[in-house]
Structure 1
């Protein structure tokens, strides 16, 4: 379980740096300054944690289910950024699309903050006798310097923005898949049953049918709208 969580944390950091590769240097430093400020402010809370308490948290299925909600929202947010950014490369976006892309581009995400909190906690555990504030300020300074440089290095290694967007998309899909593994926490077995929940089955079928009809109607409306503009 800890291995899965550590892998997710590493992927979240990589996704954070990879996303900053699509920003300018000023935006990168501002984003890193916000995250560094979070590290400094979270110093006292991180110092009050214990390894036993963290291990107990990771073993609680209810807490992992709550974290999966944050993970799902963050993955959906990052995926939306990839789609909008790729669409902007193909042509200009509308007003709403441009606003949504601007928000998605400069918001670092939700998962990076608990990941940085966990890194700060582990550093405090690994450096006994060192002042907690000094550890937090040092980590914040390293993040403020290393993360923008790492994003610039990614731009140098992979100059094609389309490839970086594809990589960001795939990384977040991998995070989502590992999030499912972390959520079940080994509870993958399910009791078999011979009964069919006809009500639930009918509800799912109704939702699928309604979504299909709505999609077809929306597609026809957009097609007629484009035809009327051409005429």
Structure 2
């Protein structure tokens, strides 16, 4: 399970770099500085950790359930950003402020990943000054994020293609996150009760009504747009 969690963290770093590739260079530099300051700030906390504590933390069912919720929400935000950016690329003016909000969200999962990487570096470089380790790692992150985003932009200059990769990696993060955080505990047990046909019929009827309402509204909207297009073409 530890290898799956490390794979998940790797994809989170890749996904975060892809998201930063949609930012301007100065914005990635500012974010790199924020990450570097975070690393230096949490260094005293990372020093107090041990391998046993981290292992127990990753084996804690409550922590894994919270992590699964966090990963799911983060992936949903990434999906929303991809779809909103595609709508903006099509020239639709609606929801531009939503794109700005989603575009400005860097991905908070990067920070616990950076904390975990810092602890692993401290464990692997025993005997070295903790301050030196944290400062060197912070410097590497400060320079690494802007350079990696520039490399991604150079390799994949098309925004649409990077959006597709960002969407796929977000999907992988969501799937691997659910796999890595699953356990055998049943949170809500099933209730034994007889088959309720009336409730099932009511649900099917309710679904049919809303489906027809949505279908009819979509058809009416499509016809209006077609009529407007024909009117403009005749003029």
Instruction: Flag whether TM exceeds 0.5 (same fold).
Output: yes
CA drift at 1:72: 0.7
Contact 1:11–1:175 (CA under 8 A) maintained in structure 2: yes
How far is the alpha carbon of 1:198 from its aligned partner? Answer: 4.0
Alignment RMSD, CA only?
A: 3.0
Question: Pairwise mapping of residues 1-231 of structure 1 onto structure 2 (< 5 A)?
Answer: 1-94=1-94, 97-185=95-183, 198=196, 202=200, 208=207, 212=211, 215-216=214-215, 219=218, 222-223=221-222
Alpha carbons of structure 1 residues 56 and 205: separation in structure 2 relative to 1, 3 Å: farther
TM-score normalised per structure 2: 0.82
- 1:4-61: per-residue Cα shift (whole Å, max 9, x none)? 1011100000011111111111111112122222112111111111110111111122
Q: Distance in 1 between matches of 2:138 and 2:206?
A: 47
**Offset at 1:197?**
6.1
**Aligned partners of 1:141 and 1:60: how far apart in 2?**
32
The higher radius of gyration belongs to: 2
> Judging changes above 3 Å, is the alpha-carbon distance between structure 1 residues 224 and 6 closer, same or farther for their aligned structure 2 residues?
same
C-alpha distance in 1, partners of 2:91/2:80? Answer: 17
Alpha-carbon spacing, 1:74–1:91, altered in 2? closer, same or farther (3 Å): same
> What 5-or-longer segments of structure 1 have no aligned partner?
none
Q: Count residues in correspondence.
A: 226
**In 2, distance between residues paired with 1:194 and 1:72?**
30
